[in-house]
Structure 1
């Protein structure tokens, strides 16, 4: 079974208008509301692919009630950790340019943090736990690292998709997979990625620093995957990007879907690229059928020499 954990979910309010005029009243032409949060997004893509998944989510207030009701009605069978504080609302504004305004995270008490850890302890050995998204400010930056250490002791594989100190410390705790983008990986090393050489070098460095596998997504540039001893690259397909929300989460979900089907990690890498691209090329999340069509045309290259 695959489990996802979303500590900092949201209601994502998508609104569309021709042009956003700051300082004046703007009227939306279209709007929709969906539960947001990287773990929930991963759950959605896996669910659409027919992969069994359980969604652990921390929720509070009227916004939390909305998300819980939505997930239950859609058959997610969520495991809800209740919070006293209110779950945030994120604004996704599509106009001449794409603008996001993310709400503040709810405050976590010591009891809330303990409830999360207790829930993780109930996950059976041999399962997979996906840790996705930002950490609320009231949690320590080593919170994910602590979960990863506990999971390893129980024989649970972990997938980490976050940024900043939470990524650096979590990576050092030894997750099975991390899935950073260029900015996130470069930031934890205080470097920049200006091309393939730097991308491969930092991905391999992350593997050496604790992650068993590293899937580095690079937008329209070739993605990188390494297990520390071997490294592969794949060029994403060309297409019109219409949606960036959830593309990275779809990449992680595509990797997990292929892994659940018994494919080796390097093949799961291609599945991740295909799912991420399928989402980027459509409104909402890309379908398994769209991902499969994309994957047929992807070419993966194994590097002959490692970059030190």
Structure 2
């Protein structure tokens, strides 16, 4: 089994409040509260752990919330090696009211410096070399104060060592990161529209846009399509993956679970088609649970048999 490294450059303490009859401008008392180590890369690590993979999480943390973050990772048995700085790790709050459709979120931003990132680069290269990493998953947003192209040197250092780099971010950091030619990117349809500056009217247009990105040197483009499943495009093949009708409870973290399934499949040297099937199954399983960035192996086993992957 190949070693996987996840990179979370803007982690968070995720606070989840369950309330009833939320009222704006008034006092609201929580029925339940949960605090977890959050960030897209952490969700990826957690799911890879649940699948039985060999994974280490790294990134940048700081302050009192950074120490709480690391204690949560350790309590969850997620192997980690983070750079600790003086800047406070952010807190993100999700408010869930059973009478309100959707989740109300409050997302902090967090600071960092170029010097912090340079120190992290030293740690990152050391991990790549000493841990014999073969797959890297870079996920999520970037700290304020470091460049929007921060993923580029990470990708380039992976390239030097023949390591596959999976990039899952959005906006300018995705556009910049694509210039370094990661092995795989995973935009959703809206993010792909932002990248290309086009509005897609059908699946064929999505596929063609993904093919254009592959021509730039990115080996695999996986586009998630919400309830319509996902597509996977390389220079040789196009796959469409769909999942059965299920009860959706919480889609937050489904994209991260999809990345985890793909990375785990690659670490087991599964065929790309089967990596894709597992990726779609993991994303679906996460959506069937109340928690974020989690899978249930029994549900996964059942769902995996029902995932349809066809060549277009």
* TM-score of the two chains, using structure 1 as the length reference: 0.94
What residue is the counterpart of 2:89 in the other structure? 87
What residue is the counterpart of 1:101 in the other structure? 106
- Deviation, 1:77, is 2.6
Deviations 1:187-211 (A, max 9, x none): 1111223321222122212212232
What residue is the counterpart of 2:117 in the other structure? 113
Structure 1 gaps of 5+ residues are 304-308
1:79 partner SS = coil
What residue is the counterpart of 2:189 in the other structure? 182
Partners of 1:126 and 1:155 within 8 A in 2: no
Deviations 1:12-58 (A, max 9, x none): 11111233221221122111111100111100001111101011031
In structure 2, C-alpha distance between the alignment counterparts of 1:22 and 1:58, rounded to whole Å: 34
Partners of 1:10 and 1:88 within 8 A in 2: yes
State which of 148, 153, 165 in structure 1 corresponds to 2:155: 148
* TM-score of the two chains, using structure 2 as the length reference: 0.93
In structure 1, C-alpha distance between the alignment counterparts of 2:118 and 2:150, rounded to whole Å: 11
Out of 236-245 and 55-64, give the one that drifted further: 236-245
Partners of 1:145 and 1:166 within 8 A in 2: no
What residue is the counterpart of 1:306 in the other structure? none
What residue is the counterpart of 1:8 in the other structure? 10
What residue is the counterpart of 2:202 in the other structure? 195
Structure 2 gaps of 5+ residues are none
Partners of 1:215 and 1:223 within 8 A in 2: yes
Deviations 1:203-226 (A, max 9, x none): 212212232111111110131001
Partners of 2:50 and 2:295 within 8 A in 1: no
Q: Do structure 1's residue 244 and structure 2's residue 251 form an aligned pair?
A: yes
In structure 2, C-alpha distance between the alignment counterparts of 1:82 and 1:288, rounded to whole Å: 33
In structure 2, C-alpha distance between the alignment counterparts of 1:166 and 1:210, rounded to whole Å: 17
2:13 partner SS = strand
What residue is the counterpart of 1:63 in the other structure? 65
Out of 266-275 and 140-149, give the one that drifted further: 140-149
State which of 285, 291, 298 in structure 1 corresponds to 2:300: 291
- Deviation, 1:180, is 1.2
Partners of 1:126 and 1:157 within 8 A in 2: no
What residue is the counterpart of 2:48 in the other structure? 46
In structure 2, C-alpha distance between the alignment counterparts of 1:292 and 1:116, rounded to whole Å: 38
In structure 1, C-alpha distance between the alignment counterparts of 2:169 and 2:194, rounded to whole Å: 12
Q: Please give the residue correspondences for 1:142-291 in structure 2 after superposition, counting only pairs within 5 Å.
A: 142-284=149-291, 285-291=294-300
Q: Which has the higher contact order (CA 8 A, sep 6+)?
A: 2
1:24 partner SS = coil
Deviations 1:80-128 (A, max 9, x none): 20121100110111121311111112x2222211112112212036611
What residue is the counterpart of 1:21 in the other structure? 23
Runs of 4+ deviating beyond 4 Å: none
Q: Do structure 1's residue 301 and structure 2's residue 310 form an aligned pair?
A: yes
Partners of 2:61 and 2:85 within 8 A in 1: yes
